[in-house]
Amino acid sequence: MTDPRPVPAPETRLPVRVPLGTKPLGIWGSLQAGRRNVLGLVPEIAVRQPIVSGTTGKRWHMVMDPAALRHILRDAVDNYPKSVVTKLILEPAIGDSLFVAEGREWLWQRRTAAPVFSHRNVAALAPVMTAAAERASARLMQAPGRAANLFDEMVAATFEVIADVTFSGGEGFDRAAVHRAIEQYIGQTAKVSILDILGAPPWVPRPSRLIAGSAMRETKRMADLAIDRRRSEGAKPVPDLLDLLMAGEDRQTGRKMTTAELRDNLLTFIVAGHETTALTLSWALYLCAFDPAVQAEARAEAQQVLGDRAATAEDVARLPLTRRIVDEALRLYPPAAFLSRTAMAEDRLCGREVRRGDTVILPIYALHRHRLLWSDPDAFLPSRFADPKSVDRFAFLPFGDGPRICIGANFAIQEAVIILSTLLARFRFAPIPGRDPKPVMILTLRPEGGVWLMIDRA
């Protein structure tokens, strides 16, 4: 495929962006903008101001100030539980699991699940990631000199990983059906979630969620059967997340998870873990194609460390540039680009009055491109992460922070570095003129239409 238009050098161009709002939106304008792209609700001034407030049906505040974010996520965390919106969207799929639970229900599940994601356990799961990297390269080997949708490829790879580390034995678990049910649920739910963001009460009918719900019910039934079968057959020789979570108990109370609790948490890991990691990888590959010099440097690093083999857990620390590319992809395209909380008590944020019941939005996308916090904020510059101490902890929040920080962050980073370095060592990726991905935030920040790149053997 050729294109006569000259492609400007990367230093004079910027990678794709979401156009932020430039005029105030009323309730219907917000509804329409939010349906197309949740980030359309974020005004452009959010990348220049510490806080932006408004009323769209409900009072809301968007917070981009690192000290205020620290206050919300760490110091006054009990005053800022996850918003009603988050719960309305996710509870039908994943119950009152770790992601949505609050208070004591959350605490005991977090205590029980934390050791499952210890450095040792995550490193022990790396062979599954290495195998997925091998299978992804075998698929791409069949397409040299051709265009491929890397987003689809990365979703396939990360779903294999999460399915293998949750229900490793298969145990009659129909993975393709689970994948379809989750995709359908997210797709259908996203269409109406905007009603929730604007604060419509739960009794307003959201019909598509009911339809998607039936596929989720079947998934839950399959997961329950798989868990019961595992209980009777015993743990695998190399324990997977189900074995680890089944063996876990709250050290303070001795409470262990029931089948329903195990199922909701495993489905949470599948929902929260695979698409987010696939997005990180696809945006990282897009950025490498966008900047061939960075790609060449990362390839040299990967080839020098890996030779012909795929990456393992031990290699991760020896691939610093790959890691920086992953961080820069998470900064420019954070999969969880928009978090929200509900204020439980009166407070002041950046000098502004916050009332009980106000929605407090953490627009991570705007934070990561804030003019006062980053130099050249829209540019792809992995070198900005060369000295991690130079980055303000609360200016970079792809995994959140405080007690509710992503439990799977190390898992995701390890997986992303293993797969990205293996692919960069073996392939060259180039953009296809006129087919740049379009970032659109529905539940996560996705490339609309996929990430299409030309692939050649390295």
Q: Which residues are catalytic?
A: 276, 399, 406
Q: Does 447 contact ligand HEM by CB under 6 A?
A: no
First to last CA, the chain: 20
Return the range that interacts with ligand HEM (CB under 6 A); candidates 146-154, 286-294, 397-405, 431-439.
Answer: 397-405
Cβ closer to ligand HEM: 159 or 429?
159
437 and 284 Cβ atoms separated by less than 8 Å: no
Please report, as residue ranges, which positions from 46 to 85 form the binding site for ligand HEM (by CB under 6 A): 82
Cβ closer to ligand HEM: 47 or 416?
416
Q: Does 35 contact ligand HEM by CB under 6 A?
A: no
Cβ closer to ligand HEM: 31 or 272?
272
Q: Does 414 contact ligand HEM by CB under 6 A?
A: no
316 and 418 Cβ atoms separated by less than 8 Å: yes
Number of residues near ligand HEM (by CB under 6 A): 23
406 is in an annotated binding site: yes
Please report, as residue ranges, which positions from 272 to 291 form the binding site for ligand HEM (by CB under 6 A): 272-273, 276-277, 280
95 and 260 Cβ atoms separated by less than 8 Å: yes
Return the range that interacts with ligand HEM (CB under 6 A); candidates 211-219, 348-356, 369-377, 401-409.
Answer: 401-409
Return the range that interacts with ligand HEM (CB under 6 A); candidates 230-238, 288-296, 313-321, 335-343.
Answer: 335-343
Q: Which residues pair with 340 in a beta bridge?
A: 361
Cβ closer to ligand HEM: 370 or 428?
370
Question: Smallest gap, in angstroms, from Cβ of residue 128 to ligand HEM?
Answer: 12
Question: Smallest gap, in angstroms, from Cβ of residue 330 to ligand HEM?
Answer: 6
Q: Does 411 contact ligand HEM by CB under 6 A?
A: yes
Distance CA 449, CA 398 (A): 23
Question: Smallest gap, in angstroms, from Cβ of residue 211 to ligand HEM?
Answer: 26
Q: Does 336 contact ligand HEM by CB under 6 A?
A: yes
Cβ closer to ligand HEM: 162 or 454?
162
Distance CA 417, CA 393 (A): 21
Q: Does 110 contact ligand HEM by CB under 6 A?
A: yes
286: tokens are 């897009």
Q: Which of 185, 269, 283, 338 binds ligand HEM (CB under 6 A)?
A: 269
Q: Does 313 contact ligand HEM by CB under 6 A?
A: no
159: tokens are 């779903």
Question: Smallest gap, in angstroms, from Cβ of residue 319 to ligand HEM?
Answer: 17
Q: Does 98 contact ligand HEM by CB under 6 A?
A: yes
Q: Does 420 contact ligand HEM by CB under 6 A?
A: no
Nearest residue to the partner ligand HEM, using Cβ: 408
Q: Does 452 contact ligand HEM by CB under 6 A?
A: no
Q: Does 99 contact ligand HEM by CB under 6 A?
A: yes
Q: Does 400 contact ligand HEM by CB under 6 A?
A: yes
Question: Smallest gap, in angstroms, from Cβ of residue 108 to ligand HEM?
Answer: 11
Please report, as residue ranges, which positions from 151 to 190 form the binding site for ligand HEM (by CB under 6 A): none
Q: Which of 288, 305, 269 is nearest to 412 (CA)?
A: 269
Return the range that interacts with ligand HEM (CB under 6 A); candidates 142-150, 269-277, 346-354, 418-426.
Answer: 269-277
Distance CA 448, CA 458 (A): 28
How many CA atoms does the CB half-sphere of 166 hold within 13 Å? Answer: 29
Q: Which of 398, 431, 439, 450 binds ligand HEM (CB under 6 A)?
A: 398
Question: Smallest gap, in angstroms, from Cβ of residue 449 to ligand HEM?
Answer: 21
Binding residues for heme: 406
Binding residues: 406
Residue numbers at the binding site for ligand HEM (CB under 6 A)? 82, 98-99, 110, 268-269, 272-273, 276-277, 280, 335-336, 339, 398-400, 404, 406-408, 411-412
